Amino acid sequence: MGDIFSSLGLVVVGIAIFVTVIGALYWLASQLPEPWRERARTAVFIGPGLILLLGLVIPALLNFRFSFLDRDEEWYGLGNYRDVFTNGNNIKVLTNTLWWGILVTGISTVIGVVIARFADRMRGEPIAKAAIFLPTAISMVGAGIIWNFVYSPREYGLLNSLIQLWPGEQEVTFFLQDPKLFGIQSDWVPGLNSLLIMVVIIWIQAGFATVVISAALKGVPDDLVEAARIDGATERQAFFKVVLPYIKGTIITVMTTTVIAVLKIFDIIQTMGKGGSFGTSTMANEMYEQAFPQDNEGLGAAWAVLLFIAVAPIVYVNARNQRAMREGR
């Protein structure tokens, strides 16, 4: 107990010192003449965040350096990057990540648009949206454990239990260990196990997409829809020609946010894919697996660099879309 109170005391003292320093700097900034006063006040509050952000630069540079080393920390040059794009297992990881980005983002966004459209202004709308959004509140690990029971080959596996209801003797299916898709096993085609894990993320992300897009639909001016109807547009035409273009920025935000979340997917692969076994690994998972369990820090660092390169343009598109939405208001 003494160690706990000692730790809490240190935390309290640290917070007190931080608040005191910020308060003193803010007071000093308030003594400056305009226009420096307001700029200095802004810098006081932005400064700590910038310092912490700059503190990440050194680890990032060290990671970039590690990506040129081999397992024994000897110079390997671009060897790790070459291995990523030539080794069959690594190509499978890349294509898995690509399929995750395409299928999870596309399907969850479409589901979000459809549900938001038909749930809009319906009776019991808040209850329906709360039920749809509920999976989003579940942690990835929790969702993985729940769906492991669904796909389990044991007697309590829900999906296998349903299959056993069909007439005749049905074989038990090991869903999460099946790397084939309709009998096809290829580095370029996701296996059945990968697709079934994607279902879990779609189940989670669809609720997020529904809530955000639903809020955007309520912001569409009624005058625009009425004008389209006066011009002879049907309900469907008004939705596709007027409403969807109006909320395009929100849809792009949902899609880019989902892509970034998918690129960073790790915990669900660990929980359901047994650490990326049976061809289910993705970039973020492979980064961890290579750097730690397999003790190949060079290849793990290379995956981290490639993950950053993949996320960076999506973040740029998202930022540009947000700026366009602000300017369009």
Confidence of residue 30 (pLDDT cuts 50, 70, 90): confident
Q: At what angle do helices 57-66 and 297-327 cross, to 10 degrees?
A: 130
What pLDDT does residue 310 have?
94
Domain ranges of the chain: 2-55, 79-327
For the 79-327 domain, the top CATH level (class) is: mainly alpha
Average pLDDT over residues 119-133: 81
Q: Quick: pLDDT tens for 215-232.
A: 999 888 888 888 888 888
CA separation for the pair 273, 120 (Å, rounded):
37
Global pTM value: 0.85
CB neighbours (10 Å) of residue 267? 16
Please say if the pLDDT value at position 13 is more than 70: yes
Which tens digit of pLDDT belongs to each residue from 131-159?
A: 888 899 888 999 999 999 999 988 778 88
Nearest Cα to Cα of residue 96 among 316, 303, 279 = 279
| Structure confidence at residue 167 as a pLDDT band (50, 70, 90) | confident
